[in-house]
Amino acid sequence: MNSSHQFATRAVHAGETICGVTGALDTPIYQSTTFAFESADEMAAIFGEEKFGYMYTRYGNPTIRALESKMASLEGGEAALATASGMAAISSAILGYVRAGDHVVAARSLYGAAYDFLNRKLPRYGASAAFVPSARVEDFEKCIRPNTRLIYFETPSNPVLEIIDMQGLAEVARARGIPLMMDNTFASPALQQPLASGVTVVVHSATKYLCGHGDAMGGIIVGPKPYIADLSREIVRDFGGVISPFNAWLILRGIHTLHLRMAAQCASASRIAEFLNAHPRVERVNYPGLPGHPGHGLARKQMKAFGAMISFEVRGGYEAGKKVMDRVKIFARAASLGDTRSLIVHSASTSHRAVPREQRIAVGVSDGLVRLSIGVEAVEDLIDDLDQALAS
Protein backbone atom coordinates (compact mmCIF):
# COMPACT_ATOMS: atom_id res chain seq x y z
CA MET A 1 0.00 0.00 0.00
CA ASN A 2 1.46 3.40 -0.89
CA SER A 3 0.42 7.04 -0.89
CA SER A 4 -0.61 6.91 -4.58
CA HIS A 5 -3.59 4.72 -3.68
CA GLN A 6 -6.83 6.57 -3.09
CA PHE A 7 -8.17 7.33 0.39
CA ALA A 8 -10.83 4.58 0.32
CA THR A 9 -8.25 1.94 -0.62
CA ARG A 10 -5.89 3.07 2.13
CA ALA A 11 -8.74 3.20 4.68
CA VAL A 12 -9.22 -0.52 4.10
CA HIS A 13 -5.66 -1.75 3.52
CA ALA A 14 -3.03 0.64 4.92
CA GLY A 15 -1.12 -0.58 7.97
CA GLU A 16 -2.54 -4.11 7.77
CA THR A 17 -0.99 -7.27 6.32
CA ILE A 18 -2.12 -10.87 6.03
CA CYS A 19 -0.59 -12.88 8.89
CA GLY A 20 2.48 -14.75 7.55
CA VAL A 21 1.99 -17.62 10.03
CA THR A 22 -1.76 -18.34 9.93
CA GLY A 23 -2.99 -16.48 6.85
CA ALA A 24 -5.46 -14.54 9.02
CA LEU A 25 -6.85 -11.84 6.73
CA ASP A 26 -7.99 -9.53 9.48
CA THR A 27 -5.41 -8.02 11.84
CA PRO A 28 -5.33 -10.17 15.00
CA ILE A 29 -5.91 -8.63 18.41
CA TYR A 30 -2.58 -9.18 20.17
CA GLN A 31 -4.19 -9.27 23.59
CA SER A 32 -0.89 -9.78 25.37
CA THR A 33 0.86 -7.42 27.75
CA THR A 34 4.26 -8.95 27.21
CA PHE A 35 6.34 -10.71 24.56
CA ALA A 36 8.95 -13.49 25.04
CA PHE A 37 12.42 -13.80 23.47
CA GLU A 38 14.53 -16.61 22.03
CA SER A 39 17.59 -15.73 24.11
CA ALA A 40 19.04 -13.31 26.66
CA ASP A 41 21.04 -11.69 23.85
CA GLU A 42 17.93 -11.09 21.74
CA MET A 43 16.12 -9.61 24.74
CA ALA A 44 19.08 -7.31 25.47
CA ALA A 45 19.27 -6.20 21.80
CA ILE A 46 15.56 -5.34 21.69
CA PHE A 47 15.66 -3.53 25.03
CA GLY A 48 18.75 -1.65 23.83
CA GLU A 49 16.88 -0.70 20.61
CA GLU A 50 19.64 -2.31 18.52
CA LYS A 51 16.99 -4.56 17.04
CA PHE A 52 13.24 -3.96 16.49
CA GLY A 53 10.88 -6.19 18.43
CA TYR A 54 7.89 -6.04 20.75
CA MET A 55 8.59 -6.44 24.47
CA TYR A 56 5.77 -4.92 26.52
CA THR A 57 2.48 -3.41 25.28
CA ARG A 58 3.10 -0.02 26.95
CA TYR A 59 6.18 0.16 24.67
CA GLY A 60 4.38 -1.10 21.55
CA ASN A 61 2.03 -3.80 20.29
CA PRO A 62 1.39 -5.15 16.76
CA THR A 63 -2.37 -4.34 16.77
CA ILE A 64 -1.69 -0.80 18.00
CA ARG A 65 1.11 -0.50 15.44
CA ALA A 66 -1.34 -1.37 12.62
CA LEU A 67 -3.68 1.45 13.75
CA GLU A 68 -0.76 3.90 13.90
CA SER A 69 0.44 2.96 10.39
CA LYS A 70 -3.07 3.28 8.95
CA MET A 71 -3.56 6.72 10.49
CA ALA A 72 -0.12 7.95 9.35
CA SER A 73 -1.17 6.95 5.82
CA LEU A 74 -4.65 8.54 6.00
CA GLU A 75 -3.37 11.84 7.40
CA GLY A 76 -0.34 11.81 5.05
CA GLY A 77 2.12 12.03 7.97
CA GLU A 78 5.54 10.53 8.61
CA ALA A 79 4.52 8.70 11.80
CA ALA A 80 1.62 8.25 14.24
CA LEU A 81 1.15 7.34 17.87
CA ALA A 82 -2.05 5.92 19.38
CA THR A 83 -3.16 6.85 22.91
CA ALA A 84 -5.83 5.82 25.42
CA SER A 85 -8.22 8.67 24.53
CA GLY A 86 -8.45 11.92 22.60
CA MET A 87 -7.47 13.86 25.72
CA ALA A 88 -4.41 11.61 26.21
CA ALA A 89 -3.45 12.49 22.62
CA ILE A 90 -4.01 16.24 23.14
CA SER A 91 -2.27 16.51 26.52
CA SER A 92 0.67 14.31 25.41
CA ALA A 93 1.10 16.12 22.10
CA ILE A 94 1.12 19.53 23.84
CA LEU A 95 3.51 18.37 26.58
CA GLY A 96 5.80 17.10 23.82
CA TYR A 97 6.47 20.72 22.83
CA VAL A 98 5.81 22.87 25.90
CA ARG A 99 8.20 23.37 28.84
CA ALA A 100 8.07 25.65 31.92
CA GLY A 101 8.21 29.29 30.81
CA ASP A 102 6.66 28.55 27.39
CA HIS A 103 3.52 30.06 25.93
CA VAL A 104 0.80 28.61 23.67
CA VAL A 105 -1.47 30.58 21.33
CA ALA A 106 -4.81 28.77 21.10
CA ALA A 107 -8.12 29.23 19.30
CA ARG A 108 -11.01 30.55 21.43
CA SER A 109 -13.43 27.86 20.31
CA LEU A 110 -12.16 24.46 21.46
CA TYR A 111 -13.43 21.20 22.95
CA GLY A 112 -14.01 22.04 26.65
CA ALA A 113 -11.39 19.69 28.16
CA ALA A 114 -8.73 20.86 25.69
CA TYR A 115 -9.54 24.47 26.64
CA ASP A 116 -9.32 23.54 30.32
CA PHE A 117 -6.00 21.73 29.83
CA LEU A 118 -4.49 24.82 28.21
CA ASN A 119 -6.14 27.32 30.54
CA ARG A 120 -5.84 25.62 33.94
CA LYS A 121 -3.43 22.66 33.72
CA LEU A 122 -0.53 24.25 31.79
CA PRO A 123 -0.01 26.96 34.49
CA ARG A 124 0.62 24.14 37.02
CA TYR A 125 3.71 23.29 34.97
CA GLY A 126 4.84 26.92 34.62
CA ALA A 127 3.50 27.42 31.09
CA SER A 128 0.57 29.51 29.87
CA ALA A 129 -1.88 29.94 27.00
CA ALA A 130 -3.55 32.93 25.35
CA PHE A 131 -6.88 32.49 23.54
CA VAL A 132 -7.32 34.36 20.26
CA PRO A 133 -10.44 36.59 20.34
CA SER A 134 -11.50 35.70 16.75
CA ALA A 135 -11.05 33.02 14.08
CA ARG A 136 -8.90 35.34 11.91
CA VAL A 137 -5.30 34.40 11.13
CA GLU A 138 -4.08 37.98 11.73
CA ASP A 139 -5.47 37.83 15.28
CA PHE A 140 -3.53 34.58 15.92
CA GLU A 141 -0.40 36.39 14.75
CA LYS A 142 -1.04 39.32 17.11
CA CYS A 143 -1.13 36.92 20.11
CA ILE A 144 2.34 35.46 19.39
CA ARG A 145 5.00 36.34 21.98
CA PRO A 146 8.77 35.70 22.00
CA ASN A 147 8.20 32.60 24.20
CA THR A 148 5.32 31.14 22.11
CA ARG A 149 6.26 27.50 21.44
CA LEU A 150 3.00 26.21 19.94
CA ILE A 151 -0.16 27.29 18.12
CA TYR A 152 -3.20 25.07 18.76
CA PHE A 153 -6.62 25.05 17.04
CA GLU A 154 -9.63 23.05 15.80
CA THR A 155 -11.53 23.47 12.53
CA PRO A 156 -14.49 23.00 12.46
CA SER A 157 -14.56 23.76 16.18
CA ASN A 158 -16.64 22.19 18.93
CA PRO A 159 -19.50 23.10 19.38
CA VAL A 160 -19.97 26.27 17.28
CA LEU A 161 -18.37 25.01 14.03
CA GLU A 162 -16.00 27.93 13.60
CA ILE A 163 -13.77 27.55 10.51
CA ILE A 164 -10.10 28.57 10.59
CA ASP A 165 -7.84 28.97 7.55
CA MET A 166 -5.39 26.04 7.91
CA GLN A 167 -3.07 27.17 5.15
CA GLY A 168 -3.05 30.82 6.23
CA LEU A 169 -2.25 29.88 9.83
CA ALA A 170 0.41 27.40 8.67
CA GLU A 171 2.16 30.19 6.73
CA VAL A 172 2.26 32.39 9.85
CA ALA A 173 3.52 29.50 12.02
CA ARG A 174 6.19 28.53 9.49
CA ALA A 175 7.42 32.14 9.14
CA ARG A 176 7.78 32.36 12.95
CA GLY A 177 9.27 28.85 13.32
CA ILE A 178 6.43 27.76 15.65
CA PRO A 179 4.89 24.26 15.43
CA LEU A 180 1.18 24.27 14.54
CA MET A 181 -1.10 21.61 16.08
CA MET A 182 -4.66 20.90 14.97
CA ASP A 183 -7.46 18.71 16.33
CA ASN A 184 -9.02 17.06 13.25
CA THR A 185 -11.70 15.13 15.19
CA PHE A 186 -14.75 16.93 13.72
CA ALA A 187 -13.78 16.48 10.06
CA SER A 188 -11.60 13.31 10.12
CA PRO A 189 -9.02 12.72 7.37
CA ALA A 190 -11.87 11.70 5.05
CA LEU A 191 -12.74 15.41 4.70
CA GLN A 192 -9.44 17.24 5.21
CA GLN A 193 -5.76 16.40 5.67
CA PRO A 194 -4.25 19.34 7.59
CA LEU A 195 -0.60 18.18 7.23
CA ALA A 196 -0.85 18.80 3.47
CA SER A 197 -1.80 22.42 4.26
CA GLY A 198 1.33 22.89 6.39
CA VAL A 199 0.01 21.93 9.86
CA THR A 200 2.85 20.27 11.85
CA VAL A 201 0.91 17.84 14.05
CA VAL A 202 -2.65 16.47 13.90
CA VAL A 203 -4.44 15.08 16.96
CA HIS A 204 -7.68 13.10 17.09
CA SER A 205 -10.22 11.74 19.46
CA ALA A 206 -10.38 8.34 17.73
CA THR A 207 -13.39 7.69 19.98
CA LYS A 208 -15.47 9.66 17.44
CA TYR A 209 -15.61 9.26 13.62
CA LEU A 210 -12.52 7.02 13.35
CA CYS A 211 -14.08 4.37 15.59
CA GLY A 212 -17.53 5.41 14.42
CA HIS A 213 -19.60 3.00 16.48
CA GLY A 214 -19.39 4.45 19.98
CA ASP A 215 -17.71 1.38 21.46
CA ALA A 216 -14.04 2.26 22.01
CA MET A 217 -12.00 5.16 23.44
CA GLY A 218 -8.78 6.17 21.74
CA GLY A 219 -6.61 9.00 20.50
CA ILE A 220 -4.11 9.53 17.68
CA ILE A 221 -1.20 11.92 17.13
CA VAL A 222 0.28 12.22 13.60
CA GLY A 223 3.38 14.24 12.84
CA PRO A 224 7.12 14.31 12.04
CA LYS A 225 9.00 11.07 12.80
CA PRO A 226 11.54 12.46 15.33
CA TYR A 227 8.76 14.23 17.29
CA ILE A 228 6.56 11.10 17.37
CA ALA A 229 9.53 8.92 18.43
CA ASP A 230 10.37 11.33 21.25
CA LEU A 231 6.73 11.57 22.30
CA SER A 232 6.41 7.80 22.36
CA ARG A 233 9.49 7.43 24.58
CA GLU A 234 9.27 10.48 26.81
CA ILE A 235 5.56 11.11 27.27
CA VAL A 236 3.13 8.37 26.26
CA ARG A 237 5.26 5.42 27.40
CA ASP A 238 6.31 7.03 30.70
CA PHE A 239 3.05 8.83 31.57
CA GLY A 240 1.35 5.57 30.59
CA GLY A 241 -1.64 6.74 28.50
CA VAL A 242 -1.47 3.85 26.01
CA ILE A 243 -4.46 2.41 24.17
CA SER A 244 -5.56 -1.20 24.74
CA PRO A 245 -5.01 -3.62 21.82
CA PHE A 246 -8.74 -4.41 21.78
CA ASN A 247 -9.72 -0.74 21.46
CA ALA A 248 -7.05 -0.26 18.78
CA TRP A 249 -8.60 -3.16 16.87
CA LEU A 250 -12.14 -1.75 17.14
CA ILE A 251 -10.91 1.61 15.82
CA LEU A 252 -8.92 -0.10 13.07
CA ARG A 253 -12.07 -1.93 12.00
CA GLY A 254 -14.13 1.27 12.20
CA ILE A 255 -11.74 3.10 9.86
CA HIS A 256 -12.44 0.54 7.08
CA THR A 257 -15.81 2.28 6.53
CA LEU A 258 -14.84 5.85 7.53
CA HIS A 259 -15.21 7.27 3.98
CA LEU A 260 -18.61 5.59 3.48
CA ARG A 261 -20.01 6.67 6.85
CA MET A 262 -18.69 10.21 6.39
CA ALA A 263 -20.25 10.57 2.93
CA ALA A 264 -23.67 9.42 4.18
CA GLN A 265 -23.50 11.44 7.41
CA CYS A 266 -22.39 14.65 5.62
CA ALA A 267 -25.19 14.32 3.03
CA SER A 268 -27.80 13.91 5.78
CA ALA A 269 -26.31 16.77 7.83
CA SER A 270 -26.60 19.14 4.84
CA ARG A 271 -30.30 18.37 4.48
CA ILE A 272 -30.94 18.68 8.21
CA ALA A 273 -29.07 22.02 8.38
CA GLU A 274 -31.25 23.36 5.55
CA PHE A 275 -34.39 22.12 7.30
CA LEU A 276 -33.37 23.79 10.57
CA ASN A 277 -32.34 26.98 8.80
CA ALA A 278 -35.88 27.37 7.42
CA HIS A 279 -37.61 26.47 10.72
CA PRO A 280 -39.46 29.33 12.47
CA ARG A 281 -38.49 28.11 15.96
CA VAL A 282 -34.78 28.16 15.12
CA GLU A 283 -32.88 31.42 15.63
CA ARG A 284 -29.53 30.46 14.04
CA VAL A 285 -27.85 27.38 12.57
CA ASN A 286 -24.09 26.77 12.73
CA TYR A 287 -23.20 24.55 9.80
CA PRO A 288 -20.30 25.41 7.47
CA GLY A 289 -22.26 24.07 4.48
CA LEU A 290 -24.82 26.87 4.72
CA PRO A 291 -23.95 29.85 2.47
CA GLY A 292 -24.70 32.23 5.38
CA HIS A 293 -22.07 30.63 7.66
CA PRO A 294 -19.09 33.05 8.09
CA GLY A 295 -16.63 30.22 7.29
CA HIS A 296 -18.55 28.82 4.29
CA GLY A 297 -16.07 30.01 1.63
CA LEU A 298 -13.07 28.71 3.57
CA ALA A 299 -14.78 25.38 4.34
CA ARG A 300 -15.58 24.99 0.64
CA LYS A 301 -11.87 25.51 -0.11
CA GLN A 302 -10.33 23.29 2.57
CA MET A 303 -12.90 20.51 3.18
CA LYS A 304 -14.21 17.78 0.84
CA ALA A 305 -17.65 18.04 2.47
CA PHE A 306 -18.99 20.13 5.35
CA GLY A 307 -19.09 17.48 8.08
CA ALA A 308 -21.89 15.91 10.06
CA MET A 309 -21.92 18.15 13.13
CA ILE A 310 -24.52 20.91 13.42
CA SER A 311 -25.37 23.27 16.24
CA PHE A 312 -28.43 25.51 16.35
CA GLU A 313 -30.05 28.00 18.66
CA VAL A 314 -33.63 27.29 19.61
CA ARG A 315 -35.84 30.39 20.03
CA GLY A 316 -36.74 30.74 23.71
CA GLY A 317 -33.30 30.18 25.26
CA TYR A 318 -32.18 27.75 27.94
CA GLU A 319 -35.49 25.99 28.73
CA ALA A 320 -36.48 25.80 25.03
CA GLY A 321 -33.14 24.13 24.24
CA LYS A 322 -33.67 21.57 27.00
CA LYS A 323 -37.26 20.92 25.83
CA VAL A 324 -36.08 19.96 22.34
CA MET A 325 -33.70 17.49 24.00
CA ASP A 326 -36.55 16.02 26.04
CA ARG A 327 -38.85 15.60 23.03
CA VAL A 328 -36.63 13.82 20.51
CA LYS A 329 -37.37 10.13 19.99
CA ILE A 330 -34.64 8.91 17.60
CA PHE A 331 -31.75 11.20 18.57
CA ALA A 332 -30.07 9.93 21.74
CA ARG A 333 -29.45 12.44 24.52
CA ALA A 334 -25.73 11.70 24.72
CA ALA A 335 -22.44 13.58 24.91
CA SER A 336 -20.16 12.01 22.32
CA LEU A 337 -20.21 12.42 18.51
CA GLY A 338 -19.30 10.69 15.28
CA ASP A 339 -21.31 7.51 15.94
CA THR A 340 -23.67 5.66 13.60
CA ARG A 341 -26.47 6.77 15.97
CA SER A 342 -27.58 10.41 15.91
CA LEU A 343 -26.88 12.23 19.16
CA ILE A 344 -28.15 15.49 20.70
CA VAL A 345 -26.79 17.64 23.51
CA HIS A 346 -27.87 20.98 25.04
CA SER A 347 -24.49 22.63 25.59
CA ALA A 348 -25.35 25.25 28.27
CA SER A 349 -26.81 22.69 30.71
CA THR A 350 -24.18 19.98 30.09
CA SER A 351 -20.74 20.38 28.46
CA HIS A 352 -20.54 24.13 29.19
CA ARG A 353 -22.36 24.29 32.55
CA ALA A 354 -19.13 25.15 34.40
CA VAL A 355 -18.23 27.99 32.02
CA PRO A 356 -19.41 31.43 33.26
CA ARG A 357 -22.43 32.57 31.15
CA GLU A 358 -20.73 35.69 29.73
CA GLN A 359 -17.66 33.72 28.67
CA ARG A 360 -19.82 30.96 27.18
CA ILE A 361 -21.90 33.45 25.18
CA ALA A 362 -18.74 35.25 23.98
CA VAL A 363 -17.64 32.04 22.21
CA GLY A 364 -21.11 31.47 20.70
CA VAL A 365 -22.50 28.94 23.19
CA SER A 366 -25.81 30.69 23.73
CA ASP A 367 -28.49 29.56 26.22
CA GLY A 368 -30.56 27.74 23.60
CA LEU A 369 -27.66 26.10 21.70
CA VAL A 370 -28.26 22.46 20.82
CA ARG A 371 -25.57 20.33 19.15
CA LEU A 372 -26.38 17.46 16.81
CA SER A 373 -24.13 14.64 15.67
CA ILE A 374 -25.80 13.17 12.60
CA GLY A 375 -25.65 9.39 12.29
CA VAL A 376 -26.49 6.99 9.47
CA GLU A 377 -30.24 6.61 10.06
CA ALA A 378 -32.69 7.61 7.27
CA VAL A 379 -32.52 11.40 6.98
CA GLU A 380 -36.32 11.72 6.58
CA ASP A 381 -36.81 10.06 9.99
CA LEU A 382 -34.27 12.38 11.59
CA ILE A 383 -35.99 15.47 10.09
CA ASP A 384 -39.41 14.23 11.27
CA ASP A 385 -37.98 13.67 14.75
CA LEU A 386 -36.60 17.22 14.95
CA ASP A 387 -39.81 18.63 13.46
CA GLN A 388 -42.00 17.06 16.12
CA ALA A 389 -39.51 18.07 18.87
CA LEU A 390 -39.55 21.70 17.69
CA ALA A 391 -43.35 21.82 17.29
CA SER A 392 -45.43 23.39 20.10
Ligand X SMILES: Cc1ncc(COP(=O)(O)O)c(C=O)c1O
User: What positions carry a catalytic annotation?
Assistant: 58, 111, 183, 208
Q: Is 205 in the site for ligand X (CB under 6 A)?
A: yes
- DSSP 3-state of 75: helix
**Residue 83 DSSP code:** E
Question: Mask of contacts with ligand X, 111-130, x by CB under 6 A?
Answer: x--x----------------
For residue 374, the minimal CB distance to ligand X (Å) is 15
Q: Is 91 in the site for ligand X (CB under 6 A)?
A: no
- DSSP 3-state of 128: strand
Which of 75, 102, 154, 165 is the binder for ligand X (CB under 6 A)? 154
Q: How many Å apart are CA 180 and CA 161, to the nearest integer? A: 20
Q: How many Å apart are CA 106 and CA 110, to the nearest integer? A: 9
**3-state SS of 335-359?**
CCCCCCCCEEEEHHHCCCCCCCHHH
147, 99 Cβ separation under 8 angstroms: no
Which of 69, 91, 109, 207 is the binder for ligand X (CB under 6 A)? 207
Q: Is 217 in the site for ligand X (CB under 6 A)?
A: yes
Helices (H), 36-127: 40-47, 62-75, 86-95, 112-116
Instruction: Write the CB contacts of 201 (distance below 8 Å, at least 6 apart in sequence).
Output: 93, 179, 180, 181, 182, 221, 222, 223, 224, 227
Which of 61, 69, 185, 302 is the binder for ligand X (CB under 6 A)? 185
User: Which stretch, 85-93, 100-108, 280-288, 372-380, contacts ligand X (CB under 6 A)?
Assistant: 85-93
Handedness of CA 184, 372, 286, 87 (dihedral sign): negative
User: Which stretch, 80-88, 238-246, 259-267, 378-386, contacts ligand X (CB under 6 A)?
Assistant: 80-88
Q: Is 83 in the site for ligand X (CB under 6 A)?
A: no
Q: Is 85 in the site for ligand X (CB under 6 A)?
A: yes
Instruction: Give me the residue whose beta carbon is nearest to ligand X.
Output: 86
Q: Is 268 in the site for ligand X (CB under 6 A)?
A: no
User: How many residues make contact with ligand X (CB under 6 A)?
Assistant: 14
Which of 183, 339, 367, 385 is the binder for ligand X (CB under 6 A)? 183
**3-state SS of 256-271?**
CCHHHHHHHHHHHHHH
User: Which stretch, 12-20, 23-31, 74-82, 84-92, contacts ligand X (CB under 6 A)?
Assistant: 84-92
Residue numbers of the site for ligand X (CB under 6 A)? Answer: 85-87, 111, 114, 154, 158, 183, 185-186, 205, 207, 217, 219
